[in-house]
Amino acid sequence: MSRCRRPSSIACCLAASRWLVGAFLGRFAAPCLLVLGLSAPAHALQVAVALSQPGGAQQAFAEALQRTLAGSGYKLLPAGNLADGLDEGALGRADLVIAAGSQAASTVLERFRRPTLAVMLSRGQWETLRARHPQAALSAIFLDQPAERQMRLVGAVLPRGGRLGVLYSTPSGEPDPELARAAAAAGLRLVPEAVAGAGEVIAGLERLLPNVDALLVLPDPVLSASSPARSILLTSYRFRRPIFAFSRAYVEAGALAAVFSAPDDVAADVADWVRKAGTTAGRLPPARPASPFQVAVNRQVARSLNIGVPADEQLRSLLQGGAP
């Protein structure tokens, strides 16, 4: 990422890193977190892994899960993806399907009716899946971070009483109500702004940003596409408002900071549960965010906006519930 030498040159950071935005959802770069476990039982689960699309974050998750479970005795069945075709044989004989992305999860539930753990999707996508398949053996580990964790990060940067804007698309549903409660507990005020679709992003931001001190970007599938993401970055910097995001790549592209779970983190969480599940595919874990998380800060953006951000170690301690 290029370096800006003075606050007025923040545009050079955006121009140099703009190429990251188009693929930021597929780039949750992180060190691999291995989970050590006991050897598998004699009749370990047969686990099929189906992807909504090839490549990107979903492929990174599948590869990390394969590495993490290698040598454990658990049999992973690669089941393909929707673009290139699913392996019906693997899905038909699997005890458990791990579906990366909401489209893969929906297809598996409709066609194969196997116990399904959905991953690499937003909380809103999970809630839509649950509503469409109320009787299915279904759970999820979603990308949205716990509200308290997100607000701890924002609260470490914004002063008490700060106003935090959150843009969301009406097709994806309203943000988690817990966000407002967590914001209040952190001494912040959440200011939501709804847009009907990607074409209304700039207008929505122009209504929202003059009335807030910072912007929280959620993994909204409508607004996370490359064009809306670019509009969010450029418009926020035009108003000189910092962005709190949900991936390392978003931070590399110009957001101030993010707390997130990368594909390797999700894979480690899933592998840990698979080992504990043993032979019981029907006892799925409760739907929740991934337990492991990471923090990323764009220090160049912080300097350009004249914002003080605690050191990474202090931030992580604070997000884990430690003292500031």
Can you name the residues that pair with 217 across neighbouring β-strands? none
CATH code for the domain of 280: 3.40.50.2300
Does residue 34 fall inside a structural domain?
A: no
The pLDDT of residue 237 is above 80: yes
Do 302 and 271 share a structural domain?
Answer: no
According to the model, what pLDDT value does residue 203 have? Answer: 96
Q: What SS3 class is residue 105?
A: helix
| pLDDT average, residue stretch 172-199 | 90
According to the model, what pLDDT value does residue 176 have? Answer: 82
Do 282 and 168 share a structural domain?
Answer: no
Q: How many CA atoms lie within 13 A of 52 on its CB side?
A: 15
Does residue 235 fall inside a structural domain?
A: yes
Helix (H) or strand (E) holding 166: strand 163-169
Residue predicted with more confidence, 57 or 278: 57
| pLDDT average, residue stretch 198-203 | 95
Do 101 and 82 share a structural domain?
Answer: yes
Residue predicted with more confidence, 39 or 274: 274
Do 204 and 134 share a structural domain?
Answer: no
Do 278 and 172 share a structural domain?
Answer: no
Do 301 and 285 share a structural domain?
Answer: no
According to the model, what pLDDT value does residue 58 have? Answer: 96
Q: Which of 39-48, 121-130, 132-141 has the lowest mean pLDDT?
A: 39-48
pLDDT in tens, 72-106: 778 889 999 999 999 999 999 998 999 999 999 99
Q: Are strands 288-289 and 294-297 parallel, antiparallel or unpaired?
A: unpaired
175 — pLDDT class (breaks 50, 70, 90) = confident
* Residue type at 180 in one-letter notation: A
Do 229 and 306 share a structural domain?
Answer: yes
Does residue 40 fall inside a structural domain?
A: no
* Residue type at 206 in one-letter notation: E
Do 171 and 158 share a structural domain?
Answer: yes
The pLDDT of residue 236 is above 90: yes
- The predicted model scores a pTM of 0.79
Do 164 and 114 share a structural domain?
Answer: no
According to the model, what pLDDT value does residue 44 have? Answer: 66
b/e sequence 154-193, b meaning 16+ C-beta within 10 Å: bbbbbeeebebbbbbbeebbebbeebbebbeebebebbeb
According to the model, what pLDDT value does residue 161 have? Answer: 87
**How does the average pLDDT of the chain come out, rounded?**
84
According to the model, what pLDDT value does residue 224 have? Answer: 87
Residue predicted with more confidence, 68 or 17: 68
The pLDDT of residue 279 is above 90: no
According to the model, what pLDDT value does residue 16 have? Answer: 38
Q: What SS3 class is residue 83?
A: coil
Q: Which of 4-8, 124-128, 164-168, 189-193 has the lowest mean pLDDT?
A: 4-8
Rounded to the nearest angstrom, the gap between the alpha carbon of residue 278 and the centroid of all alpha carbons in its chain is 27
User: How many domains would you assign to the chain?
Assistant: 2
| pLDDT average, residue stretch 200-207 | 96
Q: Which residue has 């990308």 as its token pair?
A: 143
Q: Which structural domain, as residue segments, surrounds residue 85? A: 46-143+263-289
pLDDT in tens, 11-46: 333 333 443 344 333 433 333 322 323 344 445 678
Do 56 and 181 share a structural domain?
Answer: no
According to the model, what pLDDT value does residue 73 have? Answer: 78
Two structure tokens written together for 292: 């492991």
According to the model, what pLDDT value does residue 320 have? Answer: 83
